[in-house]
Amino acid sequence: MLSAPVGALTVLWGAATATFFAQLALPGDRATTILNIRTGQAQARTPEELAPIIAQFGLDHPILVQYADYLGGLLRGDLGTSFQQFRPVRDIIAEQLGATLVLAVAGIAAAWILMVVWVTLTAGRTPRIRALGSGLDTLVAGLPHYWLGILLLLVFALHLGWFPVIGGSSPADLVLPALTLGIPLAGFMGQAVRTEFEHALEQPFVLSARMRGGSDLGIRLSHVLRHAVLPAITLTGWALGSAASGAVIVESVFSRPGIGQTLVAAVGSQDLPVVTGIVVLVALVYVIANLLVDVVYRLIDPRITA
Amino acid sequence: MRARAGRTTAIGSAAALLMMLTACTGAAQSAALAEGAAPASGGTIVYAHQQEPPCIFGGWIEQAYISHQVLDSLVSRTADGEIVPWLAEKWQVSDDGLGYTLTLKDGVEFTDGTPVDAEAIADNFDYWAAGGNPTAAVWLDGFYESAEAIDPRTVVIRLSRPYTRFLENLSQAYFGIQSPHALQTRTEEENCEAPTGSGAFIVEEWNRGQDVVLVRNEDYTSWPADAEHAGPALVERIDWRFVTDATTRVAALQSGEADLIYDVPATSWAALEQAGYTLEKYVTPGRPQQISFNTVQGPFVDENVRRAFILALDREAIVSTVGQGVIPYEGNGAVSRATPGYSADAADAYTQDITRADRLLDEAGWTGRDADGYRTKGGETLEVLLPYGAGTIINADGVAILQAVQEQAKAVGFKLDLRPLSPAEHFSGEFSGADTHDLSVGYWTSVNAGILYINWRPSTPEKPNLSNSAFYDDPELERLILEANSESDRETQDALYRQAQEYIADRALSFGLYDRLSTLAVSPRLQGVRQEQSQGGPSFHDAHFID
C-alpha cells in the first residue's frame, strides 16, 4: 500500500508531461494561434503583432524552462492562465467540474440500475430470453453517444415533451444526458456481469438457498448478484475516468456546461494550459477511482487482499 | 412570460431515473397566443447561439455579436446603408476629408458611472489602433492618425488620407466604445468577461459552457437613431445560450425553450417557416465565401491555369443543389452582392466552359495525362492543395460545395486535394504561408468594399499584409482601391470599386462561391428583433413579447 501514492504521482507526472509535449508537437506557432483565434482569421502574423503575446506567456523561453515552470506551478496547485480567456485555469476547471461529475455519477447510476434490472430479469432463463438479454447488451454497448443522444432528444424532449431540450441545472435536465451516457455503459457492464451471473446461478449455494424455499427473485438479488457484480465494479472505475470522453458528446448535444466541452474547445484553440490542466485532472480521477475500486472490492469480497 | 417545459419533478434518488422514462413531467407546449395584444415590457429572451467566444469583446464576429448588446458604437448603419447617430449626435467632415469632428450626445454615462465624453472616445481609438481590438486595428491601419478631445462633447479624428466610408466602418461592433476607466482599472479578465459600455444591456454573469446572462440597463439613454422606441430595452433579460448542435437548436425553438435561434440549417428552413416562425436572413457584406489562388508559387502562378480552374466549374449549379435555395450563389470573388459598389460584371466573368478550360491547360503545357486521367507536365501531375477550416470557416454545407468543386475540377484534369483542418491547425498559421497551399477559402464580413484594402493591399517588407491570401502584390490594384476609399463622390467611388473587382476577376486572382449568411428563426411570441446592419447579429433593444 505504501507504493500507491508513489504510483499515483507517477501517473499524474506522466499525464502532465505527455500532454505538455504532445501539445508542443502540434503544427504551427502558439502565439499565431492565440492571435488568430482572438480575431477569427487564419493567417501568418508579423513579429510586431506577436511580440506582446510571446512576452505575456513567456513563449520565447526555452522549452525546458517552460516545462519546469509548468511542473513547478502544478506542485503549487497553479495550472497557469488560459491563452484565450485571460483567466486562471484552476478557476475554469473548478467552474466546469461540478457539472461533469454530476453527469458522470448520474450516468453510472443509470447504467447500474438498467444493468441490474435487465440482467436479473433475463440471465439464466430460457434460451430465447437469455439470447434476447445478451443480444441487447451487445447492441446497446455499441450505440454511439451522439446518435443515442439525438434520438432521446427528439423522442422524449421534442416529440413527447417530457424533458427540456436544452438543460440547465435542474434534475429533470439531467435525465436524458445521464441515459445517453448510461445506456451504452449498461450494455458493457451487462456483458461482463451476465457470464458471472449465470455461472453463479449454477453454484451449490444457490441450490441450497432454493431448497430453503427462497423466491427466485430474492435469490437472484441477494445471493447471485453479489457474486456477479465484481467485474462491473472494475468497469465503474474505468467509466468514471472515461466519462470525460462521453461527456464531450453528451455535453455538446444537450448544451450542458462541463469539462468535456471545455476540453474540446481548448484543444481546438490550442489553449495549452487548459488542455494540460484538464488532462491532469482526468488522470487524477482515474487514480482515485482505481483506489476506490480496490476498497470496494475488499468490502464486497473480503477474500481479496492487497 | 414564456411557456416552457415544466421542471417541477425532482429526482430524489438515482432510482427515479428509470421512473422518469415512464412518467410525464409536464407539458412543453407553448400557450396559445393572445391575438392583438399590445407590446409588453419585461421577460427574458432565451437566445440560442451556436458558438461561445472566449471574451465578450474582441476581434471576431462571434464576439462582435454579443458585444453589440453591451457596447454602444459611435454610429449605426440602417438597412438601406445610411449612417445615423448613435453615441455621436452629429459630425462634420473637413473639406480635405482628413478631419472628422464628432459631437457626442449629452449626459451619456458608462454603466460604471464615468462619462462617455470626448476623452473616452479618443482613448478608445488609441486602444483599438494599439491592438486592443486586432480587427479594428486593420481597419484603421493606413488611415488613422490621431484622436483628440476638443471639449467634453467634441472629438476630432484625424486621418492620414481620406476615407470616405470611414464612419460606416465604425458601425461595426469591433468599434464598440468601452469605459477607459474600466479598461485601466480592471483586470484583463474582468474586461474580457464583462466589458463596461453604455449599451442597452449589461453583462450580469457568464456561466461558461452554458450562457451569458445580460440584464437591462435601466438608465439607458443612448439608443441609436434607427431604434424603434426611445428608452431602455423592453425586455428585462437576455439568456444568451450556447447551443453548438444545430439539431438541438432547432428542437429548442420548436419546444418553446428558446425564443429565437441563430444559424438555421438550410434543411430546417422551410419547415420552420411553415410552422409560423419568422425567418431572418442577412447576407453579410464584405468578402463572400471565395477561393483565392496562390499567385506566387505552384501551378496557379500561370494566369491561364487559374482561368482554366474557374472555367471548369458550374458554381451556380453546385450552390443551388447544396444550398436548397437558402444559400445564395456568389460569382464575385472580391465582395458579396450585399456590398455597396458590387460589380455584377466581375461576378459574371466566368461561366462553365470546359472546352476553353481544356484549351487553356493545353496551352499552359499541361498536355499529358496520368493513369487516373489527371493532367501532367514533364512527368508532374497537376495536383493542387486546398486546406480549409472545417467547422470554423466552412460548415457542413460548405464542405459539400468544396467536394463538388473537386469533382468538377477533375473533369478537366485537376487533382484537387481537399484538406480539412482542425481549428488548431487552421488557426496555427501552419497552412497560411505561400509555400503551404495552392488555394485558400474563406470570408471576411465588413460593411463596405473597404475590405478590398485589407484583402488586397500589397505586402511589403516594411509593411507586411498577411491578410492578402492570394499573395498578389500589385501597386496598380492598390492604387485603384485607395483611390476608391478616398473618393468623396459616391458614384465615382462605386465605379472605382467595381473597377477593382473587375481587375481581380480579369486576372483570375480569386472567384466567388456563395454569400455568407447570418440567419435567425424567431418565435411568433417575440417581436421587434432586428438584425443589426453591419454584420447581421441580433439586436434586442426593441424586442418584446406579445401575450
Q: Which residue has the higher pLDDT, A261 or B2?
A: A261
Interface membership of B17 toward A (CB under 8 Å): yes
Write out the DSSP string of A62-96: -HHHHHHHHHHHHHTT---B-TTT-SBHHHHHHHH
Side-chain half-sphere of B416: how many Cα atoms within 13 Å? 27
**In Å, what is the CA distance from B390 to each residue of B81, B292, B315, B399?**
32, 17, 20, 8
Q: Which of residues 172-211 of B touch A (CB under 8 A)?
A: 187-189, 192-193, 207-210
Could you tell me the sign of the dihedral formed by the alpha carbons of B392, B398, B400, B402, in that order?
Answer: negative
Mutate to test the interface with A, among B245, B455, B523 (most CBs of A within 10 A): B245
pLDDT for A306 equals 44
Q: Report CB contact under 8 Å: B209, A251.
A: yes
Q: Which residues on A lie below 8 Å from B431 (Cβ)?
A: 42
CB nearest A158 (choices: B14, B131, B251): B251
Q: Which residues on B lie below 8 Å from A258 (Cβ)?
A: 209
**Which residue in B223, B208, B216, B212 sits closest to B237, CA to CA?**
B216
Q: Report CB contact under 8 Å: B429, A254.
A: no
**Beta-carbon contacts of residue A290 (< 8 Å; ≥ 6 apart):** A237
pLDDT for B24 equals 32
Q: Report CB contact under 8 Å: A255, B469.
A: no
Interface membership of B460 toward A (CB under 8 Å): no
Q: Report CB contact under 8 Å: B209, A96.
A: yes
Interface membership of B275 toward A (CB under 8 Å): no
Q: Report CB contact under 8 Å: B60, A39.
A: yes
Least confident range of B133-137, B293-297, B385-389, B538-542? B133-137
At position A102, the amino acid (one-letter code) is V
Q: Are B204 and B94 in contact (CB under 8 A)?
A: no
What residue in A sits closest to B455 (Cα-Cα)? A43
pLDDT for A6 equals 82
pLDDT for A257 equals 85
Q: Report pLDDT digits (tens) over B122-144.
A: 999 999 998 889 889 989 998 99
The average pLDDT across A176-186 equals 92
Q: Which residues on A lie below 8 Å from B386 (Cβ)?
A: none
Look at residue B12 and tell me whether its pLDDT is greater than 60: no
Q: Report CB contact under 8 Å: B20, A175.
A: yes
Q: Report pLDDT digits (tens) over A126-136.
A: 889 888 988 99
Q: Are A124 and A197 in contact (CB under 8 A)?
A: yes
pLDDT tier at B343, thresholds 50, 70, 90 = very high
Q: Which residues on A lie below 8 Å from B192 (Cβ)?
A: 85-87
Q: Are B382 and B307 in contact (CB under 8 A)?
A: no
Q: Which residues on A lie below 8 Å from B245 (Cβ)?
A: 150, 252-253, 255
H/E segment holding residue A179: helix A171-201
Look at residue B28 and tell me whether its pLDDT is greater than 80: no
pLDDT for B26 equals 30
Q: Report pLDDT digits (tens) over B460-516.
A: 888 888 889 999 999 999 999 999 999 999 999 999 999 999 999 999 999 999 999
Q: Which residues on B lie below 8 Å from A49 (Cβ)?
A: 131, 134
pLDDT over 70, % of chain A: 95
Q: Report pLDDT digits (tens) over B59-70.
A: 888 899 999 999
pLDDT for A305 equals 55
Q: Report pLDDT digits (tens) over B522-532.
A: 999 999 999 99
Q: Report CB contact under 8 Å: B52, A99.
A: no
Considering chain A, what is the average pLDDT of its residues? 84
What residue in A sits closest to B467 (Cα-Cα)? A43
Interface membership of B127 toward A (CB under 8 Å): no
Q: Which residues on A lie below 8 Å from B24 (Cβ)?
A: 160, 162
Look at residue A54 and tell me whether its pLDDT is greater than 80: yes
pLDDT for B30 equals 31
The average pLDDT across A248-267 equals 84
At position B111, the amino acid (one-letter code) is T
pLDDT tier at B10, thresholds 50, 70, 90 = very low
pLDDT over 90, % of chain B: 77
Interface membership of B48 toward A (CB under 8 Å): yes
